[in-house]
Copies of this chain bind each other. A is one copy, B any other.
């Protein structure tokens, strides 16, 4: 007797065969109908028990969360809601689940409660659907880049350099935390630490990715990055996964094309491969939003929004145009923005990004050519001397999902910018080498994986799209 998954049973044409399956009980009703789930799909298989043929004590142990082993014949279902079901001939309880104490009851739990029980939350429909989408998205990322001639590389997580300045860093050390060795100046003597110098967790693999792009042509990283920022918001994690492609001989226009094509491809992959999960999440979000005032509801349902992204061109708008639009916008004139836009050079806040995407353009927007002084040192200075070839992609509901740029490939310009920001050349001697030996135009971007999953699943708190979120005051599990 072959062992099957629930997904096999529901998708293959094997009615009237003897089947053998293991899974967990979702519900058991009328002492007769077991809804069995094994994680292979959102759907359950109905197992029909003829209770007169089974020991009562055994049936009492068929409780929500119990692991069971079922054998029987797969037959066409007599009831509604499923096409096939198992007429159970043998039943074994592998692991009990005490209904008095089991946290995941067959009812609606709050996401807060489920975060506290994150080790059990994928036993619910919502989180199993989210995590299956998450897994598909991850594969879609690797598939896209592989099929487009990119090489995956593992950039280091522990870094001896803190030059990039994309955010606050976590220190990594094996020194005695109570009595660290001090040098003559009374400072911690990192020479005695594991790496022989101060080490931190990386905020980005970009600079290392550039080194590989300048030899292998097209590369990408997909790994964890860290921010030691005290941001307790629904959009920030202290540890998150970032995707960073980097391409030699590609300029900013090419970078925009790549990012747009990449996002569409990943979302299309999910839409194609996770129909059941997405339909469930679409309905979940729709139901949830019914409880909100009309003005706070999404103008589109989840699946519409995904289709909208894959089927439409992203609007490309220069920072300068965007500032004009914002300056003349109603919320600016009526002083509804918290940060009013008065002049060119202002950094855009989340409220401005959302206005552009959700109210003005009503589609994903690529902003480009930002003022140099609000962007990182490695971005290519434009001929105007005041803007850089940076781009941010803004998504409805999420805000910034991609940040990228063409990189400054000119040695002297890069050195000047580093000097202006007090970044010592010795720190980045290897990064400068790329501009000394065979330099060329190159570009890349970074995409926060969990933000993409938020967008794809309609989940509104980033803590709900990663298995075990790390945030200020929280490293449980």
**Which A residues fall within an 8 A CB radius of B?**
3, 5, 7, 22-25, 38-40, 65-67, 94-98, 101-104, 118-120, 122-123, 128, 131-132, 134-135, 138-139, 142-143, 146, 149, 151-161, 168, 170-175, 177-178, 180, 182, 186-188, 194-197, 199, 201, 208, 211-212, 215-218, 223-224, 226, 228, 230, 238-239, 241, 248-249, 409, 430-431, 433-441, 466-468, 470, 472-477
In the A-B complex, the 3 residue pairs with the closest CB atoms: A95-B439, A39-B216, A39-B217
Nearest B residue (CB) for A135:
B151
Partner of A139, one of B146, B158, B216: B146
> Which one of A66, A249, A477 has the greatest number of beta carbons of chain B within 10 Å?
A477
24 sample A-B contacts, Cβ–Cβ < 8 Å, listed by A number: A5-B217, A39-B151, A94-B249, A94-B438, A94-B441, A95-B437, A118-B430, A119-B434, A122-B215, A122-B216, A131-B212, A134-B153, A139-B142, A142-B142, A155-B467, A155-B468, A158-B470, A170-B194, A173-B173, A177-B177, A177-B180, A194-B473, A195-B473, A430-B476
Residues on B with C-beta less than 8 A from A3 are 249
Residues on B with C-beta less than 8 A from A175 are 177
Min CB–CB distance A463 → chain B (angstroms): 12
Cα distance A248–B149 when bound, in Å?
36
A132 and B173 contact, CB distance less than 8 A: no
Partner of A238, one of B154, B158, B218, B238: B158
Residues on B with C-beta less than 8 A from A151 are 39, 131-132, 134-135
> Which one of A215, A436, A440 has the greatest number of beta carbons of chain B within 10 Å?
A215
Nearest B residue (CB) for A217:
B39
Min CB–CB distance A182 → chain B (angstroms): 7
A439 and B159 contact, CB distance less than 8 A: no
Min CB–CB distance A69 → chain B (angstroms): 8
Cα distance A120–B211 when bound, in Å?
7
B174 and A172 contact, CB distance less than 8 A: no
A156 and B239 contact, CB distance less than 8 A: yes
Cα distance A174–B143 when bound, in Å?
37
Residues on B with C-beta less than 8 A from A196 are 472-475
Cα distance A23–B248 when bound, in Å?
9
A178 and B171 contact, CB distance less than 8 A: no
> Which one of A40, A158, A160 has the greatest number of beta carbons of chain B within 10 Å?
A158
Residues on B with C-beta less than 8 A from A152 are 134-135, 138-139
Residues on B with C-beta less than 8 A from A122 are 211-212, 215-216
Min CB–CB distance A229 → chain B (angstroms): 9
Cα distance A45–B120 when bound, in Å?
56
Residues on B with C-beta less than 8 A from A24 are 215, 438
Residues on B with C-beta less than 8 A from A475 are 156, 158-160, 195-197, 199
Min CB–CB distance A42 → chain B (angstroms): 11
Min CB–CB distance A232 → chain B (angstroms): 12
Cα distance A239–B208 when bound, in Å?
16
Cα distance A230–B193 when bound, in Å?
11
Partner of A95, one of B194, B211, B409: B409
B438 and A65 contact, CB distance less than 8 A: yes
Cα distance A438–B68 when bound, in Å?
8
Residues on B with C-beta less than 8 A from A22 are 248-249, 440
Nearest B residue (CB) for A466:
B154
Given contacts A142-B142, A224-B154, A437-B97, contact A468 B208 (CB under 8 A): yes
Min CB–CB distance A429 → chain B (angstroms): 9
Residues on B with C-beta less than 8 A from A248 are 22, 38-39
Residues on B with C-beta less than 8 A from A25 are 438
B194 and A154 contact, CB distance less than 8 A: no
B468 and A149 contact, CB distance less than 8 A: no
Cα distance A195–B134 when bound, in Å?
25
Residues on B with C-beta less than 8 A from A154 are 134, 138, 224, 241, 466-467
Nearest B residue (CB) for A6:
B217
